[in-house]
Structure 1
Amino acid sequence: MFDSRNPVYKNPVGATPAGQNIHFKITLPRGLGCTAATLNLQEDGGEQFHWGMFWCGMNGNDREWWECDFTPPRSGLYFYSFSLQTNRGMLGLSRAFGGRGELSGGDKWQLTVYEPGFETPRWLPGGILYQVFPDRFYRSGQAKKEIPYGRKMHDEWGEEPQWQPDETGEITNRDFFGGDLQGIVQKLPYLQSLGVTCLYLNPIFESHSNHRYDTADYSRIDPLLGTERDFAHLCREAERFGIRILLDGVFNHTGSDSVYFNREGRYPGPGAYQSKESPYYDWYSFSPWPEKYDCWWGFLTLPCINECSESYQQYLCGKNGIVRKWLRLGAAGWRLDVADELTDPLLERIAEAAKEEKSDALILGEVWEDASNKIAYGQRRRYFQGRQLHSVMNYPFRSAVLGFFTGMRAKDAMEILLTVQENYPPQVLRCLMNHLGTHDTERALTVLGGEALNGRDREWQSRQRLSPTQRGIALRRLRGASLMQYTLPGVPCIYYGDEAGMEGYRDPFNRRCFPWGKEDAALTEWYRSLARLRQTARAALEDSPLVPVAAFRRCLCYIRQGKTQRLLIALNSGSAAEQITLPAGWEKATCLLGESPSGSILTLPPIGFSALLL
């Protein structure tokens, strides 16, 4: 009766700019005796629209067409359904699985409307991202100067990170291995061999924990990593290798041990904790000062920023502010930590400052859910309407891909992927960070081959390693999962060491040192072959939507169709062989990876795959 993902029924499909006409069409059984049909739209938090539909002819002998046009007047979210006056009374046509319509009291469809002229940087699509946790990637051997007190340096690269509480009973994250910016420079040829075009760095500013999400000074590179000169050198050298640098902006909170708050008294001060006369006092919210203050998720070491503070916004976004400074020194953009905890005005000001400094600067947010309809702290977010984020980390993608290889039904995985495609503007979709793991999640290999974490403690996590059997299964699954990662809409992002076969549950076991000299060479070469596939099939992958072909049992098949190339990907995540009947013409395709078809039949072995190019 209706399919929101089919242009016969809704044209254009997916998100649209404000002011663009959308044609809606439904087909109803003649036996319903429909005498009137209405398109009902609810603007999120705003106006309701009721659009009468016109009877426009028969669809075969026993079905009829009704249609209308609607032009969304402004950006935002709209939710819609249809009402029908029939010989059975008033009926509703609403959303069922897969975006199709059914006569029930089901869900409404979502229509995402963005501002006309909303553009995203063109340099990221088609490339490959690589995420580095700086302390654990590579240690150059360059002498470290002016190291702040309170840090424990490991003697050997690759030792187990500290995971047990110290003598105070706290886990301080104060152990360091000494990875640095010059070390990243030395490994640029390696990153280039993987096809990397953008390097996403976890925080690099002065902080007193190894993760550096407790910023001590936004204006200064952490001394263990190097200097401002080292950063500018990294950006210049990376550019020579065709690689851009994406920085992590932690702008929702600082460290308590910081220039700004200075609870520990490390800095000359005065910080907000020390004096109400501090220039940073209004950056924080005290109740009462100084003992009680708003802090991130209850962590006293992470006092929250009062984002409405004009002095803070000016410090961050002004002409000589933090956002502009590091772009000026060579960064290509910012990944914004906990974007759902940044206010709309601050997000817009960050984006505006970045664009003014560098017209193609990327602003990418950390959002774990569907970012098109995210509600945070009771407020609907407007990330994709055109003034805030260019794109986000694609956690729904991770859930779908890893889920597909660990028991999720193929059709449910496909539904997640297609829902994101339907809800996100196309320019956002092509910049999505498609990752299988990050510093906040278990390693992909561990998820694909190990026991589920299920809330187990750090002591249990520290003892876990995949058995040879588990690792063999996990490696086969990772090949299929990474093939999806490299061929679905968006940009693949490798979490450092995944390509080398690293394992690990949560922090700090997912943040171990890169195993230089002990890499899984075959797996690393597999990732290089995926980079070559993206180059070979570039015309098929560029600006093309995901077209589903099949999703049954443990099999997925989809096509990416460009103007001059078509790429078909088929995957079997199950333990038994499966056969897929290919669409007409694909028997003549070139096999890039995996199994070749026999005529129109493609047989996939257990945990098998195929990549075909026409």
Structure 2
Amino acid sequence: MTEPAWVQHAIWWQVYPLGFVGAYPADTPPTADEHRLRRIVEWFDHAIGLGASGVALGPIFASQTHGYDTTDHYRIDSRLGDGGDFDHLVEEARKRGVRLLLDGVFNHVGTDFGNSSWFRKRRNGSGFDTFEGHDGLIALDHDNPEVVDYTVGVMTHWLARGADGWRLDAAYAVPDRFWAQVLPRVREAFPDAWFVGEVIHGDYSARVRDGGFDSVTQYELWKAIWSGLNDQNFHELDWALVRHNEFLDDFVPMTFVGNHDVTRIASRLENTKHLAHALVLLLTTGGTPSVYAGDEYAYRGVKEERFGGDDAVRPEFGSPPEGIEQLGHDELRLHQFLIGLRRRHLWLHTARTSPLQLTNRQYVYQTRNGADSLVVALNIDDEPLSVSLPEVGVAQGEILGGSGAPPQHIVTAAEVEPHGWLIIAPTARP
């Protein structure tokens, strides 16, 4: 594993800046003198109150529309502001001990990108390759040494200005040999930076090894969480966690139940009672967790496969809400509790899971790292779930949290209410 030591403590709060500050889509695009990037600073204290230690930003560089059609990686998008606004963001983050992750789009660029000689030509010689058929996203020629040098230059430039790492967009579409040339050079200059590649399908471990990433996005687990809950099939989830354990032997994945590219988890789940189960899974399994801004308030939004189909999951945010009557109060408190639990148990970063009881709709698993462990019980059935700790190798345990109102804290057995959950810390073994 190559990740820096600070990543063990990292819990990201992810923001899509152009949407977050109302810069895209917008009938009248804002201008640089509105300095909208600074609005994100207003939410730093909210992220800290949530329990996050870093803010993962979507694209902030000059682009034509949604940020992923970059035209100049060295310039802040004028709809967000200017370089001074980025420096302000860094300064305010540093005051609070908040890390910043940038989103780098180096697989493709916008049609107005300044150097068309770096575009990858189609094999038949007619025009340029595009990203997944999108005419406005022109693929770069990753065999061109100048593209390698340019990418290294961009990444080191913004790390020098205060960023802590990079999410590398569409990393799965870029040859591993390109990243293997880029990342060692950047890491040599900034050995404490973290690099996570966006990878959806395929051999995650091979991508990490051959490309030189610290981590990749764990889409397999994301899919198994929501589909396992919707299909009432915990066997699918358990199989995904077996795979997840194997990944943890090689690297620590970036885990999530929502991001700017997918339908919000509150809209994806057929039973919103199971939002808690999804979050418990995210925060009691190994990984570097990321929470998409708004999910802590149970925001809804459905991604559609059409132009503008991402807009619903990338809304504008106003000022942070105050008081206890705000939207999604219960979800917010649950996020705070579970993130707090995670931060008190740093060993969860590389914890492996093993099933203790498993049926389609009831799942008890142990999450363990050496001598440290927790027992997690998830019930999506209409009937209660009985858990006998001695039968799963634990003499007794302390209930740390769960749905309902446990009658006592130290138990040898527990009952999980229908569609409920429970987290128990073992205190003795038989």
Q: TM-score range by the shorter chain?
A: 0.7 to 0.9
Can you list the C-alpha shifts for 1:256-289, whole angstroms capped at 9, x where unaligned? Answer: 02323xxxxxxxxxxx3xxxxxxxx144316788
Tell whether 2:346 aligns with 1:514: no
- Superposed displacement of residue 561, structure 1: 2.7
TM-score by length of 1: 0.62
- Give, in angstroms, the shift of residue 604 of structure 1: 1.4
Q: 1:537·1:613 contact (CA, 8 Å) conserved in 2? A: no
1:502 aligns to 2:299 (yes or no)? yes
Q: CA deviation at 1:249?
A: 1.1
1:608 aligns with 2:414: no
User: Where does residue 435 of structure 1 map in the other structure?
Assistant: 256
Equivalent of 2:133 in 298, 304, 309:
298
Whole-Å separation in 2 of the counterparts to 1:294 and 1:584 = 57
Within 5 Å, give how 1:31-42 maps onto structure 2: none
Check conservation: 2:204, 2:216, Cα contact below 8 A.
no
User: When you count helix as a share of all residues, which structure comes out higher?
Assistant: 2
Report the Cα distance in structure 1 between the residues aligned to 2:143 and 2:167, rounded to whole angstroms.
21
Corresponding residue for residue 324 of structure 1: 156
Tell me how far 1:179 sits from its aligned partner. 8.6
Structure 2 residue aligned with 1:526: 334
Normalising by structure 2, we get a TM-score of 0.87
Query: 1:199 is matched with which residue?
Result: 55
Aligned length, in residue pairs: 409
2:221 aligned counterpart, secondary structure: helix
1:221 aligned partner: 76
- The change in CA–CA distance for 1:366 and 1:593 in structure 2 (over 3 A counts) is same
Matched, 1:489 2:312: no
Superposition pairs of residues 20-39 of structure 1, within 5 angstroms: none
1:296 is displaced (CA, Å) by: 1.4
**Residue of structure 2 equivalent to 1:27:** none
For 1:519, give the aligned amino acid.
L
Q: Is the 8 A contact 1:135 1:179 kept in 2?
A: no
Consecutive unaligned residues of structure 2, counting only runs of 5 or more, are 304-309
Provide the residue aligned with 2:97 in structure 1: 242
Task: Determine the structure 1 residue equivalent to 2:306.
Answer: none
1:575-594 correspondence to structure 2 within 5 Å: 575-582=382-389, 583-594=392-403
Matched, 1:426 2:235: no
Q: Do the aligned partners of residues 408 and 300 (structure 1) sit closer, same or farther apart at CA in structure 2, a change above 3 Å counting? A: same
Question: Which residue, 5, 13, 16 being the options, matches 1:133?
Answer: 16
Aligned pair partner of 2:2 in 107, 119, 126: 119
Tell me the residue number matched to 1:285.
121
1:586–1:192 CA distance, 2 compared to 1 (3 A) = farther
The separation in 2 between residues aligned to 1:584 and 1:610, in whole angstroms, is 17
CA offset at residue 404 of structure 1?
A: 2.3
Q: Aligned AA for 1:404?
A: G
229 and 547 in structure 1: CA distance in 2 versus 1, 3 angstrom threshold: same
Q: Which residue matches 2:307? A: none
How far apart, in 2, do the equivalents of 1:495 and 1:588 lie?
Answer: 32
Deviations 1:6-37 (A, max 9, x none): xxxxxxxxxxxxxxxxxxxxxxxxxxxxxxxx
Structure 2 Cα separation of the partners of residues 499 and 524 of structure 1: 5
- Of residues 550, 553, 557, the one that matches 2:357 is 550
Which range is displaced more, 570-579 or 334-343? 570-579
CA RMSD of aligned residues (A): 2.6
Q: Distance in 2 between matches of 1:282 and 1:322?
A: 15
Distance in structure 2 (CA, Å) of the matches to 1:502 and 1:555: 27
d(CA) in 2 for partners of 1:354, 1:408: 45
What is the alpha-carbon distance in structure 1 between the residues aligned to residue 118 and residue 276 of structure 2?
51
Contact 2:16–2:314 (CA under 8 A) maintained in structure 1? yes
Are 1:313 and 2:148 counterparts? yes
Amino acid at match of 2:314: R
Is the 1:284–1:305 contact (alpha carbons within 8 Å) kept by the matching residues of 2? yes
Map of 2:26 onto structure 1? 153
Report the CA distance shift for 1:243/1:435 in structure 2 as closer, same or farther (over 3 A): same
Q: Distance in 1 between matches of 2:331 and 2:40?
A: 21
**Residues in 2 aligned to 1:201 and 1:585: alpha-carbon distance in whole angstroms:** 42
Partner of residue 384, structure 1: 208
Alignment-mate amino acid for residue 140 of structure 2: I
Confirm or deny: 8 A CA contact 2:35 2:82 kept in the other structure. Answer: no
Distance in 2, matches of 1:535 and 1:362, equals: 19
Taking the aligned partners of 1:400 and 1:549, their CA distance within structure 2 comes to: 19
User: C-alpha distance in 1, partners of 2:221/2:25?
Assistant: 37
2:35–2:81 contact (8 Å) kept in structure 1: no
Q: Which residue, 377, 400, 405 being the options, matches 1:570?
A: 377
1:444 to 258, 261, 265: 265
Contact 1:384-1:425 at 8 Å conserved across structures: no
Instruction: Report the Cα offset of residue 479 of structure 1.
Output: 1.1
Q: Greater relative contact order: 1 or 2 (C-alpha under 8 angstroms, separation 6 or more)?
A: 2
